[in-house]
Amino acid sequence: MLINLLPDFFAVLNSTDRVAAYHRYFETHRGLLEAYWHHYVLDPYGPHFRDVVQLAALADRSDLRAMLERTDVVALARSTEEQCGALLEYDTDIDVVLMVGVGAANAGELVVDGRGTAFVCLEHFTSVANPETQGLGLEPELIPLWLAHEITHAVRYTSPRSRSEVRRLVEEANGYYSYWETGRRASLRELLINEGLAVHASRSVALGFDAAVYFVYTRRQYHRLRELEAVRPERGR
């Protein structure tokens, strides 16, 4: 199911007291936003929560507004959701969330009470790096790539047919996924398979990008790594 939090976030920006409005926004969507903060930002009940909220609420969002005027992000998300459904043939409900974050992860996966979620934070996809929002300046055309990657994770963590080690860990945690704790308990083999499958899915759904983009390298870094594959260490004498 597609969840579009943009209208609620812009209501925060249009408020006369943005910080207070963000707190109300957080309470309204506590289940999702609490998990987002815990996994990708910091403790939402700690001493720095208000400081981060203030920076995010008062930041200049002209780059975000300009991107949304020229890009139909809802259509991009719906198309990606449909393509992933056809590709992965999943048998579980996954939420796909369009939101504005606080400059942390540009995208991610969550499991809250057994339900998988894939989200993208649109402050990072405006084509313009923004120091006020910590926006990375990624192109909005990359949204399907990232969503497909995160949807794949969410399906693997929650599908009844999944044999993923992470799914077992999520079940042991009563239906919750922790970016830190679950990742710490999973084996290296599991983590490599997990990321590899997500990359393959994103390459199948979002076509036409340089290979480096799918692996989140710069082109120079990626092609240098490929060059090093041909270099074999000398055997000990």
SS3 (DSSP) at 213: helix
Q: Which amino acid is at 230?
A: A
The residue extents of the domains of the chain are: 2-206, 212-237
Q: Which amino acid is at 140?
A: P
Dump pLDDT digits (tens) for 88-116.
998 999 999 999 999 999 999 999 999 99
pTM of this structure: 0.90
Q: How are beta strands 129-130 and 115-121 bridged, if at all?
A: unpaired
pLDDT at residue number 234: 59
Tokens of 135: 């926006």
Average predicted confidence (pLDDT) for the chain: 91
pLDDT at residue number 67: 97
Least confident of 160-169, 215-224, 225-234: 225-234
The set of residues, in sequence order, having a beta carbon less than 8 Å from that of 129 and lying 6+ positions away, is 135, 136, 137
Could you tell me if 198 and 207 are in contact, meaning their C-beta atoms sit under 8 angstroms apart? no
Tokens of 119: 């989200």
Strand positions, DSSP E, the chain? 2-4, 94-99, 107-112, 115-121, 129-130, 135-136
Confidence of residue 235 (pLDDT cuts 50, 70, 90): low
pLDDT cut 70: percent of the chain above it: 94
Q: How are beta strands 129-130 and 135-136 bridged, if at all?
A: antiparallel
pLDDT at residue number 214: 85
Is a pLDDT exceeding 80 seen at residue 85? Answer: yes
Distance CA 109, CA 117 (A): 6
pLDDT at residue number 220: 78
